[in-house]
Amino acid sequence: MTSKTILKSATALSGLVLPFVAGAALAQDQVDLRMTIWSANEAHLAMFNEIADGFTQTHPNVSVTFDSLPFDSYTTTLTTQIAGGNAPDLAWILETTAADFVNSGALAPLSETFADTEGYDIEDVSEQATALWRADGELYAYPFSTSPFAMFVNNDLIAAAGVQTPAELIAAGNWNWENAIETAAAVADNGANGLIVRDFNYQIWQNLASIWRGWGASPWSADGNTCAFTDTEMVGAMTFVHDAIFDKGAMPEPGESVDFFAGDAAMTITQISRASLLPQGDDAFAWDLVPLPAGPEGEYAVIGQAGIGVFSMAENAETAVQFLAYMSNPENSAKLAQFFPPARQSLLNAETLGETNPLLSPEQIENVVIAGISNGQVLPGHEGFAEIQQVVRAELDALWQADADVAGVMTSVCDRIAPLL
């Protein structure tokens, strides 16, 4: 069963998904909340537990447990728990599956509780950041992480290849995809690797949105009903990527494992939270962080999001919504910003973000982080995305060959996914 089917089946079960009614939980009862996440990072867990302890101080009958699930199987595990009547009270939700969760009826509404919580200041949370998590004006999940994609750069490898660094190209007004790939190819010709789209690995194709958005391309129409892989913009973008791999050698071919943060490549596209992977001490190299290069459609930005939702079928849904309001208030949002770029406009400044991201310069924070969050488009998602993702991945296998017919592959993709849209 797909995640979409599981969610629909779960929400249809009699008595499982209940209307969200204020006052449903009794304050005097012991309440044990469980929240699923996909991080087992000790620093993350320490911060979450600190926030939970703060909530317990004013709600002594409440405990909060953070349940770390493996990222690769996270959504499948979560939807299986829901279908089995063992839904958590709260959960992290990927942007790609937001439509499934928001439209399924599985999530409790948040707007009223957030608006009524003293000091919450819901107006501080930007409408653009919450757009993916709303339906009919109601907020169903809070976007706790809004992280822009950017380009980390190894200036040592680029200098050794005798070409301009991205910073120099930016200063000259020449930071675009044509020049970025030429730089990557020069480094590859010099014996290292060029450009890595981190976590793509010829499987997670939606991460190529960090490139194709520069062509104004999308996988489907704005309403999600029509396949757009055959559009001129997408064919152009995918042709560019194919040429970068097989003609210019600027990107590793399928089967090659390359790690930018180990010093093996000139550039990598990834989210800014990966700055923590930069080597320190004797292993350090001269690095930079720059915006994505301009494409044929000009400058652009792409962001990844993760939301937190409360399941309406949970026995303690009301208390869980109250905890989420506490977890995402201005004070705790500032704590979360240490690892997760915030949706609150009051925190989107170089001073605040500089305190929580000490490796980044004020210029990097302003030009990459703040500009990316303010202007970025979210990675593509769709109802039933898990199934669509697998179908597209399988069809794109034919693209990752030197003699591929790019336009023909794009037609094949649309033929396969059109019934799913």
- Rounded to the nearest 5 percent, the helix, strand and coil shares of the chain are 50, 20, 35
The residues that bridge with 142 in the sheet, in sequence order, are 308
Phi then psi for residue 311, to 5 deg, are -85, 125
pTM as predicted: 0.82
For 259-303, give the secondary structure using H, E and C.
CHHHCCEEEEEEEHHHHHHCCCHHHCCCEEEECCCEECCECCCEE
The C-alpha angle with vertex 325 and arms to 270 and 137, in degrees rounded to 5, equals 80
- Which residues contact residue 57 at a Cβ distance below 8 angstroms, ignoring those fewer than 6 apart? none
Q: What is the pLDDT of residue 8?
A: 54
Distances (CA, A) of 35 to 164, 201, 327: 47, 30, 12
Side-chain-facing half-sphere of 154: CA atoms under 13 Å:
27
Largest CA-CA distance found in the chain, in angstroms, rounded: 70
Q: What is the pLDDT of residue 13?
A: 37
The C-alpha angle with vertex 103 and arms to 99 and 108, in degrees rounded to 5, equals 110
Neighbours of 282 (CB within 10 A): 5
Burial classification of residue 106, based on how many CB atoms lie within 10 Å of its CB (0-12 exposed, 13-18 middle, 19 or more buried): buried
Q: How far apart are CA 133 and CA 302, in angstroms?
A: 17
Q: How far apart are CA 34 and CA 265, in angstroms?
A: 41
Q: DSSP 3-state assignment of 43?
A: helix
Residue 41 CA, chain-centre distance (Å), reads 17
Q: DSSP 3-state assignment of 68?
A: strand
What sign results for the dihedral spanned by CA atoms 412, 415, 417, 421?
Answer: positive
Q: Which of 357, 333, 370, 272 lies closest to 144, judged by CA?
A: 333
Q: What is the pLDDT of residue 273?
A: 73
Residue 176 CA, chain-centre distance (Å), reads 23
Phi then psi for residue 169, to 5 deg, are -65, -40
Helix 3-12 crosses helix 385-396 at what angle (to 10 degrees)? 170
Please tell me the CATH superfamily of domain 3-147+304-378, with its number.
Periplasmic binding protein-like II (3.40.190.10)
Burial per residue of 234-247, b for 16 or more beta-carbon CB atoms within 10 angstroms, e otherwise: bbbbbbbbbebbbe
pLDDT tens for each residue of the chain, 421 residues long: 455 555 654 454 333 344 444 444 444 689 999 999 999 989 899 999 999 999 999 999 999 999 999 988 899 999 999 989 999 999 999 998 999 999 889 999 999 999 999 999 999 998 888 989 999 999 999 999 988 999 999 999 999 999 999 999 999 999 999 999 999 999 999 999 999 999 899 999 999 999 999 999 999 998 899 999 999 999 999 999 999 999 999 999 999 989 999 999 999 999 887 887 888 888 899 999 999 999 999 999 998 899 999 999 899 999 999 999 999 999 999 999 888 888 898 998 888 788 777 788 888 888 888 888 888 888 888 888 889 999 999 999 999 999 999 999 999 999 999 999 9
Decide if 142 contacts 307 (C-beta within 8 A).
Answer: yes
